[in-house]
Amino acid sequence: MDSLQQQPYGPGLLALVAVGLMAYGVHMGLQARYRRIKLPDLRGGCRGLSRFFTG
């Protein structure tokens, strides 16, 4: 990172990467908080699985 920071574009590039990582972290935090997962309806029991394992 030191050699990258010594380049003319280095500090700007490192700042851009840092902002991008923070934005990604915020995005994933919001997605984890507000995402709804649709679960399958299991009221029918495991009849489908028993047929799969018994042949």
Nearest 5 degrees, angle CA 21-CA 27-CA 31?
A: 145
In this predicted model, what pLDDT tens digit does every residue of 38-47 receive, in sequence order?
887 777 666 6
Residue predicted with more confidence, 21 or 5: 21
The candidate with the shortest Cα–Cα distance to 31, out of 23, 39, 20, is 23
Q: Enumerate residues 6+ apart whose C-beta is below 8 A from 10.
A: 4
**3-class state of residue 45 by DSSP:** coil
In this predicted model, what pLDDT tens digit does every residue of 11-49 receive, in sequence order?
999 999 999 999 999 999 999 999 998 887 777 666 656
Give pLDDT, residue 51.
60
